[in-house]
């Protein structure tokens, strides 16, 4: 089905793997279109609880494919529109999304990772936003997301200077959630995704939505949304299963819907 990526659903986890290793998985217009389709497929699949975005070969994603700009007068505008459409789809997805970053995550590739809920990195990963130094600008929502993760001062440094940081530094500043030795990276990603998949899908969907928008709400609005979410959870099957599992001294087996 796809020319630029590999889509795989195993158990309750889908893996969307960028598959243009010859150009370090640089994002073309077709890449963006197929990422959107794969994301839709993972969201629509009721068996999928967690989505992982990864890269084949030596890198996660080295940025936008500048070859797409050659000979096409509107290609730049098309790339911007495609990147921002994907950013919206990532932000509005009802399921948790994990970026598994090894090798390079630069420019649009770094912004793709920032659009996910969790960033897992290998120790030798190289993360950078070189746009300003190239006379360009960021287009995937990074100017809002990055300061939330690392603070405004560090965000300015990363954006203005365009310096690359490794996996350990990404973890230290709060950009990454986990950093694994290169040889343990794949196993670490699988374990983390599996842990997410074991949680209540309904509770995660509600928490994801609220955490993403709470900063734009008043405190009273936050309390109102939380009360509605708690009511949904208390009326759903996962709360009952959690209580039963606790009484039976076993891990819960959640089945609540995690879709839109």
Say how far apart CA 177 and CA 213 lie, in whole Å.
20
CATH number of the structural domain spanning residue 43? 3.90.226.10
139 is a domain residue:
yes
193 and 208 in a single domain? The answer is no
Which residues are part of the catalytic machinery?
A: 111, 131
113 is a domain residue:
yes
45 and 13 in a single domain? The answer is yes
Tell me the per-residue pLDDT of 98-115, one tens digit each, with 9 for 90 and over.
Answer: 999 999 999 999 999 999
140 and 240 in a single domain? The answer is no
219 is a domain residue:
yes
Tell me the per-residue pLDDT of 201-255, one tens digit each, with 9 for 90 and over.
Answer: 999 999 999 999 888 899 999 999 999 999 999 999 999 999 999 999 999 999 8
153 and 230 in a single domain? The answer is no
Say how far apart CA 144 and CA 136 lie, in whole Å.
17
What is the extent of the structural domain holding 182?
A: 5-197
Say how far apart CA 117 and CA 154 lie, in whole Å.
20
**What are the per-10-residue average pLDDT scores of the chain (260 residues)?**
94 96 96 97 96 98 85 76 96 97 97 98 97 93 96 97 97 98 98 96 94 91 95 93 95 75
* Global confidence as pTM: 0.94
């Amino acid at each position: 089905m796809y020319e630029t990526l590999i889509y795989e659903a195993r158990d309750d986890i889908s893996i969307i793997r960028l598959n243009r290793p010859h150009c370090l998985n640089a994002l073309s217009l077709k890449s963006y279109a197929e990422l959107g389709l794969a994301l839709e497929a993972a969201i629509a699949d009721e068996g999928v609880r967690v989505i992982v975005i990864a890269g084949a070969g030596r890198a996660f994603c080295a940025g936008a494919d500048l070859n797409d700009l050659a000979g096409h007068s509107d290609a730049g505008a098309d790339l911007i529109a495609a990147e921002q459409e994907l950013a919206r789809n990532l932000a509005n997805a009802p399921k948790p999304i994990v970026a598994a970053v090894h090798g390079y995550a630069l420019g649009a590739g770094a912004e793709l990772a920032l659009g996910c809920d969790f960033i897992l990195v290998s120790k030798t990963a190289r993360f950078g936003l070189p746009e300003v130094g190239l006379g360009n600008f960021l287009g995937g929502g990074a100017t809002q997301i990055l300061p939330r993760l690392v603070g405004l001062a560090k965000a300015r440094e990363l954006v203005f200077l365009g310096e690359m940081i490794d996996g350990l530094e990404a973890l230290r500043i709060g950009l990454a959630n986990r950093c694994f030795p290169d040889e343990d990276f794949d196993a670490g990603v699988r374990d983390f995704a599996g842990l997410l998949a074991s949680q209540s899908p309904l509770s995660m969907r509600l928490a994801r939505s609220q955490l993403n928008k709470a900063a734009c709400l008043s405190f009273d609005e936050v309390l109102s949304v939380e009360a509605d979410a708690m009511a949904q959870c208390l009326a759903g099957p996962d709360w009952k299963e959690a209580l039963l599992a606790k009484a039976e001294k076993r891990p819960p087996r959640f089945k609540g819907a995690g879709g839109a």
